[in-house]
Amino acid sequence: MILVPLTSRQPPAWQRALQDAVTDPAELLALLGLGPQWLEPARAAARRFPLRVPRGFVARMRHGDACDPLLRQVLPLGAELDDVPGFGTDPVGDLAARSGAGVLQKYDGRALLVTTGACAVHCRYCFRRHFPYDEENASRGGFEPALAAIGRDPSISEVILSGGDPLSLSDRRLAALFDGLRAIPHVRRLRLHTRLPIVLPERIDAGFLGLWSAVPLQKVVVVHANHAREFDGSVRAAIESLQSTRTTVLNQAVLLRGVNDSADDLVSLSETLFEAGVLPYYLHHPVAGAAHFDVPMATAQRLVAEAGARLPGYLVPRLVREDAGAPSKTMLPPASR
């Protein structure tokens, strides 16, 4: 059993930072010195999907720059209210993959646990922003039904903890989940999909590292960064700490218009990731959650070809599309040059 040390009543620093996130569009604009013309559209879009961004992430944004690539990922815009054909509420077929108890099974050998609906940051392009977390959430009422479902299926060798963001769960809840998973003999690999090491690196603290290092499974953490400027010293330190626990760290990014849609941006992201010890894994296309971020397919393939010509092969992310009902992600080849 993984023991979580008893601590004082004071919540850990990461939980205080989580609670202290910026949620008011007016405050975000004021912090960045941006004019009032952004406020009403931001308020209207935030009524559908609230603004949430940790202050440490805001501090990495450029003051006075409404086109800052970090800001664009979190600032609600009026364009989100447009209904655009092809950009539905379940773009990657999550609902059809539900098997109950917060377990999604899309691909052979792997099960994805929707562990929580909570995230430290609300990414405006999120493809799960309409997901029915109230109905399909493994942590609701305890993890036992989800663990039992995984235990009944010996074909599952890898469990992916997703959400929402699994690292927004407390150490106590994570310890219970890790204990349950390690007791299932056919589960050999545990993967976390999380944006917290990037947007709230305080989360990778001694408490978490203690319980994560005690997990005897092969461990993979897939972080989510879209732009090189998301990295600072605290992010690099968090990733280094994860690596000290024998964890493979990969990155998945989303190709986003106005954020990282140039070969320079993609090259810089890959190089920054590798300097931090992270390998680029997927570059998702198209953006399923919001049409105004979409990059045309031909452009996406050309950008990856251009970036690929400037990078060693191991730093070129795989351009992928997720098709509802498909047995795996669809690899999209770079354009021939």
- Please give the structure tokens belonging to residue 58: 């805001």
- β partners of residue 162: 114
What whole-number distance in Å separates Cα of residue 5 and Cα of residue 161? 23
Closest to ligand SF4 by CB, 117 or 280: 117
Minimum CB separation of residue 20 from ligand SF4 in Å reads 18
Minimum CB separation of residue 128 from ligand SF4 in Å reads 5
Q: What are phi and psi of 111, to 5 degrees?
A: -125, 140
- By three-state DSSP, how is residue 99 classified? coil
Residues that bind ligand SF4 (CB under 6 A): 119, 121-123, 126, 128, 163-165, 195
Closest to ligand SF4 by CB, 120 or 311: 120
What whole-number distance in Å separates Cα of residue 68 and Cα of residue 229? 10
Closest to ligand SF4 by CB, 173 or 302: 173
What whole-number distance in Å separates Cα of residue 174 and Cα of residue 157? 19
- Whether the CA torsion 129, 133, 135, 136 is positive or negative: it is positive
Closest to ligand SF4 by CB, 184 or 238: 238
Closest to ligand SF4 by CB, 104 or 184: 104
Minimum CB separation of residue 7 from ligand SF4 in Å reads 26
Minimum CB separation of residue 133 from ligand SF4 in Å reads 10
- By three-state DSSP, how is residue 214 classified? coil
The distance between the two most distant Cα atoms of the chain, rounded to a whole number of Å, is 60
Minimum CB separation of residue 130 from ligand SF4 in Å reads 11
What whole-number distance in Å separates Cα of residue 157 and Cα of residue 110? 6
The number of beta carbons lying within 10 Å of the beta carbon of residue 65 is 14
- Please give the structure tokens belonging to residue 64: 């006075």
Minimum CB separation of residue 195 from ligand SF4 in Å reads 4
Give yes or no for a contact between 7 and 41, defined as CB atoms under 8 angstroms apart. Answer: no
Closest to ligand SF4 by CB, 193 or 308: 193
Instruction: Give the CA distances from residue 180 to residues 6, 47, 155, 175, 215, in Å, rounded to whole numbers and listed in that order.
Output: 21, 38, 17, 9, 11
Minimum CB separation of residue 196 from ligand SF4 in Å reads 8
Closest to ligand SF4 by CB, 126 or 176: 126
